[in-house]
Amino acid sequence: MEPLFVRPLLYLKGLAMAFIGSIISLLIFYHLLTSPNALENKALVFHSALSIGSHEASSEHIEIPPRTPIASAPSLGPHRIAPTILKPKAVPGEHAERQGSPKTTSQSSHKVGTPSSPRVGTLGSQGVPSNEGSSIIEKQSAHRVKTLGEQGASSEDTGTQGDYGASSKISGTLGRLRGPKIGAPGSHTGLNPPFILVSGERSGPCETVNGSVVMAKSYKNKVDYCNWHGCTVWYTLEVWEEGYTGTWARYPLLLRLMKANPSVAWFMWMDSDAIFTDFSFEIPIHAYDSWGKKMVVPGFWDKVYRDDPDWVGLNAGVFLMKNCNWSHEFLKKWMKFGHPKNKASSKISINSMVKSRPQDWDPDDQSALVFLLNSNRTDSQANVFLEASYDLHGFWELVIDQLVEGKNGNRRPPFVTHFCGCKFCGGRGSEVPLVCLDGFTRAFGFADNQFLARVALRHPNITSPDPLLSPI
């Protein structure tokens, strides 16, 4: 029998080690943030040292796209542990940060074990929006960010299904896939094929004091999620094809990554201002595969496929694509709207159909996607799934109040919390609104505690930016 004083001593030893580690982390952050080049090139080192016991999904098979990017900086992908982030010089044309209408399937939540009940703000079993969901849409539309149009950036919104016939089966299946509640690591089912999560940020330096830290934390969040679920992160800082800047820069990269990695079945794009906030949820890629879907976008069927489609009827900031010929050709069609030589004609085409967007804006990728889906409904509804059964995109203003530890009951938190409109890296040198920073701090702490639980640590206060940790 061990002496009574042994266990308290071990506990005190653990506390001392956690305290020393936190002090070291604070000193590193202080050094990085006060160094002369910290804000200019965002050379922040983020070591995801807590990937203990994580899935070691192989990244050796991932090939780098063949052509040299326009902005000459090394890509960060593929990496399981985040390396030093080096910012390249800015390329001509500002990166229009995605903002936009807060459309989301937020406020929605299944109760565990009751998959048949539609979530608030999503489509019901027959793809028909509920009154409550419609009211949320109207509320979200009132939140549109006016500055979006200044750079022709796209907005961010949410999802529904594109296939009425399969919706009853789909709703039930997704409900069963929601898995265990938060705090149960290792919920990876093994049903999904390996996929690559692609993300990135503007090629120039952040114009705000806090932007670099926020973007580094966002990157860490994505690496941690993939360590949990066996995916691989490809993080880009480059412009891969001349003429494609802003939100359009991602599509040439996605196309090249797909062609360079034919063995990777699925790719996922996720904006840098979006983070995972439900680590135990596994994206049901195998289900989408079984339904013959090749693209998954958060969106509302009746908003996208009606005669006067709403440009915020879906969200182009988070989506999945199957690596197949259909996706390659679709990306080529989509990209054409964003090329400078097609600017005038694309604007005319989009405005002729998508009348809800400001007509003086340059072509944006989200409105172009709505145009493509609506103009070829038969093909789109067969291959594109508009997701609304879970929060593939949760607008932060509507879901932030759900991020309360231990008080959700059977409600699940949003899978993704998207801070569209916050412009963490700045638009005109202005500082990030405090409400955005507070919201991100809360969401990141909420998500990070799920990952830290694997090593019995936690942020004692998720609403504080203080990096100190404490034992559970």
What mean pLDDT comes out for the span 17-41? 58
pLDDT tens string 319-354: 999 999 999 999 999 999 999 999 999 999 999 999
**For residue 53, is pLDDT > 70?**
no
Q: In this prediction, what percent of the chain has a pLDDT beyond 90?
A: 43
What's residue 468's pLDDT?
72
Nearest to 220 by CA among 398, 402, 80: 80
What's residue 463's pLDDT?
82
Binned at pLDDT 50, 70 and 90, residue 408 comes out as low
**For residue 74, is pLDDT > 50?**
no
- Joined together, the tokens standing for residue 161 give 């299904």
What's residue 240's pLDDT?
81
**For residue 113, is pLDDT > 90?**
no
pLDDT tens string 252-288: 999 999 999 999 999 999 999 999 999 999 999 999 9
C-beta of residue 246 within 8 angstroms of C-beta of residue 95: yes
What's residue 66's pLDDT?
62
What's residue 401's pLDDT?
87
Q: What's the CA gap between 440 and 400, in Å, rounded? A: 9
**For residue 407, is pLDDT > 70?**
no
> Going by DSSP bridges, is the β-strand pair 318-322/295-298 parallel, antiparallel, or unpaired?
antiparallel
pLDDT tens string 78-105: 443 333 333 333 333 333 334 444 344 3
Nearest to 192 by CA among 179, 207, 203: 179
What's residue 448's pLDDT?
93
User: Running DSSP on this structure, what letter comes out for residue 471?
Assistant: E
Nearest to 448 by CA among 45, 32, 51: 51
Which residues, including other chains, have CB under 8 Å from residue 261's CB and lie 6 or more apart?
61, 62, 63, 196, 323
The reported pTM is 0.67
Q: Ranked by mean pLDDT, which of 36-45, 70-79, 92-101, 439-448 comes out on top?
A: 439-448
- Joined together, the tokens standing for residue 283 give 């994206």
CB-side exposure of 11: number of CA atoms within 13 Å?
7
What mean pLDDT comes out for the span 199-224? 89
3-class DSSP state for residue 275? strand
Binned at pLDDT 50, 70 and 90, residue 311 comes out as very high
Binned at pLDDT 50, 70 and 90, residue 138 comes out as very low
What mean pLDDT comes out for the span 290-314? 96
The mean-pLDDT minimum among 33-42, 106-115, 234-243 falls in: 106-115
Give just the sign of the alpha carbon dihedral 129, 131, 133, 139: positive
What's residue 38's pLDDT?
42
What's residue 465's pLDDT?
75
**For residue 187, is pLDDT > 90?**
no
Q: What's the CA gap between 57 and 366, in Å, rounded? A: 32
Q: Look at 361 and 406; give whichever has higher pLDDT.
A: 361
Q: What does the buried/exposed string (b/e) look like for 104-114 if buried means 16 or more CB atoms within 10 Å of the residue's CB? A: bbbbbbbeeee
